[in-house]
Amino acid sequence: MIIFITGATSGFGKAMVLKFINFGHKVIATGRRENLLKELSQEIPLEFKNNLHTIKLDVTKKKDVEMAIAHLPIEFSQIEVLVNNAGLALGIDVAQKALIEDWDTMIQTNINGVLNCTHCVLPKMVAKNSGHIINIGSVAGEFPYPGGNVYGATKAFTHQFTLNLKADLLGTNVRVTSIEPGMCQTQFSEVRFRGDKEKAQAVYQGMEALSANDIAEVVDWVISRPAHININVISLMPTQQAFGSFAVSRK
């Protein structure tokens, strides 16, 4: 397969790149940080070097996405799987104290980035009558928590956009899936807390969170199902995570 992965320089994206390359797939790895793309290239075994194509790309910039996809090398041009993985959370402040700039960054990345890539890739998949779009969501799109305001809203968008795509694609063989993890120990919390590693580590203290490789394995399972099976949504959490009771403010 030829697999296009956004946000490939760390976390879920990097784990997917390494797994899929070692399985013999061709992978287009994109990310904003060119130095990390170079480091990723160096981790690829020599026998699979030709299976990786890296692109410095900011998915929030529609024209850049269009140019990147239009100018892919011929051997990578027929994208069979798009993994919309690029995304982030910024801050944990309640809405009345949050920075509007953080909200805008999350909307631009988590929503517009998904739209830009999907809009470029989907018509070709429909024309070929095959392909698979994987959107990386979050349990935060279904279950609210204090401080999750806009981040959770962007992931609710991802969930509903995936289902609406599936409705539009009826009559084609193009598949669409939303994968919605709970707590995963990656750089996610470090980004959310603006590089504060102590705060980030505290999030996972005393429990075993999901890993980036766990999510890569789920994506691999989804795309390897027989062509007549579409996995609509997968929601997964660590065993040590569950749902909270309703909160009540008492006088």
Tell me the average confidence (pLDDT) per consecutive run of 10 residues in the chain, 251 residues long: 95 94 95 92 88 96 96 96 95 94 96 98 97 97 94 98 98 98 84 77 90 96 97 97 90 91
Closest CA to 162 of 151, 175, 178: 178
Q: Which of 76, 151, 161, 193 is catalytic?
A: 151
Q: Strand locations in 49-94, DSSP E?
A: 52-56, 81-84
Looking at residue 46, its pLDDT comes to 84
Looking at residue 164, its pLDDT comes to 98
Q: Is 145 a catalytic residue?
A: no
Task: Count Cβ atoms within 10 A of the Cβ of residue 192 and give its class: 0-12 exposed, 13-18 middle, 19 or more buried.
Answer: buried
H/E stretch holding 236: strand 233-236
Looking at residue 202, its pLDDT comes to 85
Closest CA to 233 of 129, 141, 145: 141
Looking at residue 189, its pLDDT comes to 74
pTM for this predicted structure:
0.93
Looking at residue 199, its pLDDT comes to 81
As given in the structure block, the two tokens for residue 163 are 């289902």
Which overall architecture, per CATH, does domain 2-236 show? 3-Layer(aba) Sandwich (3.40)
Asked if 13 and 6 count as a contact pair (C-beta separation under 8 A), the reply is: yes
Looking at residue 170, its pLDDT comes to 97
Q: In what order do the strands lie in the sheet with 81-84?
A: 52-56, 26-31, 2-5, 81-84, 131-136, 174-181, 233-236
Looking at residue 245, its pLDDT comes to 84
Chain position carrying tokens 């996995």: 231
